[in-house]
Amino acid sequence: MGLNSYGGAIVYIDLTKEKVAKKKLDEDFAKGYLGCKGFGARILYDEVSPRVDPFAPENKIILSVGPLTGTSAFGPKCSLVTKSPLTGGFLDSNIGGHIGPELKYAGYDTIVISGRSKRPVYLLIDDDNIEFKKADHLWGKDTHETDRLIKKELNDSDVHIASIGPAGENLVRFACITSDLYRQAGRGGSGAVWGSKKLKAIAIQGSRSVNIANEELFLKYSHDLRKATLEGGGPFATYGTMLFVDLINEYGMLPTKNFQSGVFPEVKKINGDAMLKTIKSKDRACFACSMHCANFCVVKHGSYAPFNIEGPEYETTTMVGPNCGLGNLEAIAYINLLCDKVGLDTISTGNIIGFSMECYEKGVLTKRDTNGLRLTWGNHEAMVELIKKITYREGIGNTLAEGVKSASKEIGKGAEKYAMHVKGLEMPAYDPRGAVGIGLGYATANRGACHSRAWTISEEVMGKLDRFSIEGKPMLVSVKMHRKNIIDALGICEQMGLLPIYVDLLSAATGWNVQAMHNKTYPSLIEDFKIKNENIMIGERIYNLARAFNIREGFRRKEDTLPKRFFEEPLPEGAAEGHFINSDEFDKMLSEYYKIKGWDKNGIPTRKKLVELNLEDVAEDLWS
């Protein structure tokens, strides 16, 4: 047994040579980066050199768990870090469910996968035993079938499996990893990286326990956590993220018809209440979580019935629904299921279909381009066909499989102005014209347009800040970015909003003296964690390290921006009618943000800042 509450080992898996090497987890490394995204960021920075093609054998897939994973203090997320085939930059993506705890129970904090297998392969991780298993018979199968076939061949239904579908195999640049049928590392195209390595799946079964430094205290705190969740869950426990459909529509910022509007007239057909009334069967939860925000749905009506699904979530519902002009919850749920099976990120898929539909509406794409598909708003039969074309790279699907940024360039004829992305990552389901802070978050998140790296909705929409003003937003986004990096390094869930309890839980689990650094401007938010005698903000360090990875790849200020539509076209209706983002103000906000962060005017972390964060080697890389 190594460090308290850690698995104790990092394992390196070389797919080219079919070799496995293990390394003991170092305590200083653990203290410096905590786990999950923190571990992944440091290893990616150190081991993937600049300008490596994301599909080259030299790119790495780094799966990590955190110090609370697999304990009663529910932190179920398994972090996946790699170089993104969509952005060419840093990518981290989280998988909920059960695969994370299983990895910890197998005795590992991190798996680093490199190389490229000659033939399709899947990894079996069974405590000390790690095997390269043939996957020729699985290649071409969807993720649900792959899950079943591996369980069958292992005679084991307790094993947890993450796999790619045909989309990942075919290197669709927004292919995802699906685990436990319904849990995805969705964003950024990690599924295509697996595909490039001929890695079909990872099956994990662990049987070890997690050592806790102060058991009694830990038990008490995790009981407090459970209590707080059960008592504080409220409607979120019932609706999950579907709670936001109505809210965001009311505020006029629900992406509709490829961000042409922020109001969807048919919202009542697809909101949380509609889900409850028509398809929801029961709550579901990630490992050990008492929030149970997930919804298991039994769809008995509509063209695709009968089928069951865990989901859809808010993002999927909005991007596949309103953003494609689709007001049919059964069809949205079916498209969600289809994406889970073929292994496509639902956010990017909804975004790209919305883009294609706007191109079709504007005459930029015609029936000749689409092999006869009528890409009219809300045409879900066409959406299903288009998803198949993307998955198998047929016709227009082959173009779209490259992501909205590349596809819009290839299509030409002005299509680029309909491509809603940042750094190549397709925009998610909040229109930043209705909350400029989240726009700043999109622009400055390392993986591209991401709503969950600085989810300012709680302050801008549900809170007291003026959502249309840039006032206070740089500091807000800065604090949130640090906070989220802590959340993502611990592997806990953003939805919990209970970070203060985690300070105590982490201290009890590890035996370290963990301190929370409260922010004066936003006292309700924890800005960062530090561990006593380690005078470093851990979240800030991780954020800057990932930023440095991008800087090394050539990313600069010009990449920290938003699609032109948000600067040029005011929202045409609803509560945010007339609002757009003033580009000068955006620039001012960005400069102020850089200043707060200690970055120069090009957005490069200064030597001083990096040294302050104990990232001397990184400072050397960027500034020597």
* Residue ranges in contact with a copy of itself by CB under 8 A: 126-127, 129, 144, 147-148, 151-152, 154-158, 180-181, 205, 207, 209, 215-216, 219, 223, 230, 281-284, 290, 292, 296, 298, 307-310, 337
Contact 76, 286 (CB under 8 A): yes
Closest separation in Å from C-beta 109 to a copy of itself: 19
Closest separation in Å from C-beta 110 to a copy of itself: 21
Contact 543, 446 (CB under 8 A): yes
Q: 307 or 580, CB closer to a copy of itself?
A: 307
Q: 28 or 216, CB closer to a copy of itself?
A: 216
Closest separation in Å from C-beta 284 to a copy of itself: 7
Closest separation in Å from C-beta 231 to a copy of itself: 13
Q: 221 or 418, CB closer to a copy of itself?
A: 221
* Ordered alpha helix ranges (H), 401-537: 404-411, 436-444, 457-460, 473-490, 499-510
Count of C-beta atoms within a 10 Å radius of residue 323? 32
Closest separation in Å from C-beta 278 to a copy of itself: 14
Closest separation in Å from C-beta 143 to a copy of itself: 11
Q: 237 or 517, CB closer to a copy of itself?
A: 237
Task: Return the sign of the alpha-carbon dihedral for residues 353, 355, 361, 363.
Answer: negative
Q: 283 or 534, CB closer to a copy of itself?
A: 283
Contact 143, 163 (CB under 8 A): yes
- Determine the straight-line distance between the first and last CA of the chain, rounded to whole angstroms: 41
Closest separation in Å from C-beta 206 to a copy of itself: 8
**Cα separation, 422 vs 590, whole angstroms:** 15
Contact 68, 501 (CB under 8 A): no
Contact 35, 66 (CB under 8 A): yes
Q: 290 or 398, CB closer to a copy of itself?
A: 290
**Cα separation, 291 vs 305, whole angstroms:** 29
**Cα separation, 91 vs 165, whole angstroms:** 20
Count of C-beta atoms within a 10 Å radius of residue 35? 28
Count of C-beta atoms within a 10 Å radius of residue 21? 10
Closest separation in Å from C-beta 272 to a copy of itself: 17
Q: 48 or 161, CB closer to a copy of itself?
A: 161
Q: 129 or 521, CB closer to a copy of itself?
A: 129
**Cα separation, 544 vs 594, whole angstroms:** 12
Closest separation in Å from C-beta 223 to a copy of itself: 6
C-alpha to C-alpha distances, 445 to 155, 424, 438, 441, 458, nearest whole angstrom: 43, 12, 10, 6, 18
How are beta strands 121-126 and 19-24 bridged, if at all?
A: unpaired
**Cα separation, 241 vs 272, whole angstroms:** 8
- The secondary structure element, H or E, covering residue 609 is helix 607-612
Q: 180 or 315, CB closer to a copy of itself?
A: 180
The label of the residue with tokens 């800040």 reads 465
**Cα separation, 388 vs 192, whole angstroms:** 16
Q: 205 or 485, CB closer to a copy of itself?
A: 205
Closest separation in Å from C-beta 396 to a copy of itself: 29
